[in-house]
Amino acid sequence: MTFSLFGSFVTLITTLLTVVGLPGLLALMAVESFGLPPIPSEVILPFAGFLVADGTLPLGGTIAFAVAGGLLGAFAAYAVGRWWRSRLAGLGVGQLRIEERDLERMDTWFARRGEITVAAARVIPGVRSYISYPAGTAKMSPVRFGLYTLVGSLPWTLALLYAGIALGSHWDVVTHYFFPIDVAIVVLVILGAAYLALVANGTLERGWPPRRKAPGPTQPARP
């Protein structure tokens, strides 16, 4: 078997689903949607589909528990983002300090494009587990957040369950297709961390595209 980037979780996931069943699926999907620690749904759901195919889990219950777990984790992350909003202003170091205007831009973005942002993010590996935090920070309507989380996550859930059902004992083949995406996410995270470090120490200006910070005015020498 070729593991994905998160392959170290495979044994835990398969054991929990085999031994605990639907409650284990609910718990795994809740943790996956919360994002901490990162547990890949591209392993959870195909293996759950395999257990449906061999008669261990019922199809209807598997869909219901998978979707319910995803919603539970998403709302938990949303609540954290909303609760922490009052603590964010002034947080950070140097050029990376979060200011009130940054929160206002986030509010404007989610007020105009919150629905499509949340729905689209639910079908992007990696991103799907973390979009709930900024949605909560921007105080997106909980009803709209839940609805568009469902709209985006339901096709993802059904597709991966179906893949596991169709592949049967070869369910792990699905993870092969996510390996390049996992690698791309790691590269983006490394580049993002490097960018933030350069902004924090004043080498680059905040914003996009990256650009070197202009030197400040030269101070006149003291007599």
Distance (Å, whole) CA 85 – CA 15: 38
Interval 149-162: pLDDT, tens: 999 999 999 999 99
Interval 21-68: pLDDT, tens: 999 999 999 999 998 877 888 889 999 999 999 899 999 999 999 999
pTM value > 0.85: no
| Domain boundaries along the sequence of the chain | 7-177
The residue type found at 133 is: Y
